[in-house]
Structure formats: structure tokens, C-alpha cells
Amino acid sequence: MSDKAPSSENSSAAAISAVHVLDMISGVPFDETYTALYSGMSQLDVASRWKDRCNPSRLHVCDLILSLKDLECPHGAFFRYRSIETDLLSCVLQRAATAALGKLASRELWPMGAEEDAYFTVDAAAMPLCLGRRRIATLRDYARFALLHLRGGEIDGRRIVPADWIAGTRFGADPALFGGIFQKILPAVAYHNQFWIEDTTRGVYMARGVFGQLIYIGPVADLAAVVLSSWPEFVSRVRMRTALAVIGAIRGALSS
């Protein structure tokens, strides 16, 4: 992946692989604290123009990626959620396809039957960003995305996502890489291919975002759910447990 990633000789991205980034198991330190002024997350918000600039030397997201020069552990050692790695994937995708992210989504994903246009935040260098709240679609189109996954990557007779990729996402995670705070919400949690795996034995998985955004995919129960939300907190264990309990109750009612 290094030939497509924005990198310099001293950048941590120089030796990183696609698997490391997809599963967020790189060894790059990145402070995910949303409320700290100079955390990595706040600098990412500045680089993507969601916050006022506090460091004039980092004008866009590629600058921030190139500033990450240290390692806290070997690549692949353990999971730590790093928002910037999703935007690193965005850089790699656009360079590999020689197409902007919007054009890629229109060509490869939106044929799933989407009704409305989607939107991406762009940074000061006009690079589209794909992290969580920087991409915007309607609830119904997010539901179509969930249904696409529920149907194994095929919808209305058209193959959009390879079936092997869907199966690998459901069952390919290594639970040994996870622990700590994440297991306080989901005891059997894992993370793979940019999705949270609720249960590695049943292959239930989710896309989760700050403020309670949630796309839930439960193939065994044939259930997909989408939650658009705006919590007062960036993250909340209590609210997330409640949201998952509601979905679990719906799943139970439909199965009875």
C-alpha cells in the first residue's frame, strides 16, 4: 500500500499495509480525544476545516498523515481506533483508482439503488474525506447500504460487493487483538474491514459513528437497522448499550 499512501521516508505510513489500516491495527499513535484542543482528532478536524486552525503548518489531511512519524507498537500488534486511518484509506483509494472519492462512490456503490446524492467533506486541498461525519447520505440510502450487506453484496440481481469480502468481514476478525473499553460495551467485539463486529461467532456487524450514528447488519436474523442520531456526547457507553438493546428487542420480536 505504501506506493499509494501519502508518505515520506520518516512517515509511519511508509511501512503500513492495507490490512493494518482496514483493521486499525497499525502501531501509529493517534490521540482520539474529541474534546482536547491539540489531540490528533482535533487536528484532523482542523485539517478537514471542521474547526478553526490551531496549527498553521498542517493545512490539510495529507499533511497530518505525513506528520505521524512515531510508533507505539509494531504494526499488527493490537487494535486501537484511529480515525485518521479511514482518511488514509480514502487517499489510497483515490490514488489507486485515479478518481475522486465521489466518482468512485457513484460508479462502484451508488448503483445499489440509491435515491439521493451523497456528500463528502473536502479539506483545504479539495481532497474528499470518508471518515464518519464527513460523509452524508439519507437514512433510506444508508438502509439500502445495510440491505446490500444483508444480501451478501448483491441487490436486485446486481453484484456490487464481492461475496467473499462480505463473508470475510463477518468472520475474519481476530478477537485476540481486542479488549479494554471496547469489550465493556460488547463482550465479543472485534473490528475488521472498517466494521465493528458485534459477535464473531454469529457474524453480526455494524458501522458506528460519533453521536450515536449506527448501521446494524444481522444476517442470521435477516435484520438491518439504521440509526441517525445526535447525542449530546461524542460517545456514550450507556446510550450505545440502549440502542443495541432496542435493536435486540426488535430482532427478538421478529423472530418469535
For residues 249 and 218, state if they share a domain: yes
Computed over every residue of the chain, the mean pLDDT equals 86
For residues 114 and 211, state if they share a domain: no
- pLDDT at res. 149: 96
pLDDT for residue 235 is more than 70: yes
Mean per-residue pLDDT, 198-207: 90
Q: DSSP secondary structure string, the chain?
A: -TTTS---TT-GGGG--HHHHHTT---------SS-TTSHHHHHHHHTTSS--S-TT--SHHHHHHT----SS-TTS-----THHHHHHHHHHHHHHTS-HHHHHHHHTGGGT--S--EE-B-TT--B--SGGGEE--HHHHHHHHHHHHTTTEETTEE-S-HHHHHHHHH---GGG--THHHHH-TT-EEETTEEEEETTTTEEEEE-GGG-EEEEETTTTEEEEE----SSS--HHHHHHHHHHHHHHHHHHH-
For residues 218 and 238, state if they share a domain: yes
Q: pTM for the whole thing?
A: 0.88
- pLDDT at res. 151: 95
For residues 1 and 45, state if they share a domain: yes
Structural domain ending residue among the three candidates 136, 160, 185: 136
Lowest-confidence region among 118-132, 137-151, 161-175, 193-207: 118-132
For residues 65 and 161, state if they share a domain: no
Please state the domain count of the chain. Answer: 2
Mean per-residue pLDDT, 100-120: 92
- Confidence band for 256, pLDDT divided at 50, 70 and 90: confident
For residues 145 and 234, state if they share a domain: yes
Cβ neighbours of residue 69 under 8 Å, at least 6 residues apart? 10, 11, 12
- Confidence band for 90, pLDDT divided at 50, 70 and 90: confident
Cell of 84: 485518521
- Confidence band for 126, pLDDT divided at 50, 70 and 90: confident
- Confidence band for 217, pLDDT divided at 50, 70 and 90: very high
pLDDT for residue 55 is more than 60: no
Of the ranges 53-67, 75-89, 170-184, which is most confident?
A: 75-89
For residues 87 and 202, state if they share a domain: no
- Confidence band for 13, pLDDT divided at 50, 70 and 90: low
- Confidence band for 247, pLDDT divided at 50, 70 and 90: very high
- pLDDT at res. 68: 86
User: Which residue is it, cell 503548518?
Assistant: 57
Measure Cα distances from 175 to 70, 128, 129, 169 in Å.
26, 32, 29, 13
For residues 176 and 144, state if they share a domain: yes
pLDDT for residue 56 is more than 60: no
Q: How far apart are CA 195 and CA 207, in angstroms?
A: 5
Mean per-residue pLDDT, 71-91: 89
For residues 65 and 142, state if they share a domain: no
For residues 118 and 145, state if they share a domain: no
Q: For residue 55, with 0-12 CB atoms within 10 Å meaning exposed, 13-18 middle and 19 or more buried, which class applies?
A: middle
For residues 10 and 109, state if they share a domain: yes
CATH code assigned at 14: 1.20.58.710
Identify the domain containing residue 147 by its residue range.
138-256
Structural domain ending residue among the three candidates 83, 101, 136: 136
For residues 90 and 159, state if they share a domain: no
Single-letter amino acid code for the residue at 130: C
- Confidence band for 91, pLDDT divided at 50, 70 and 90: confident
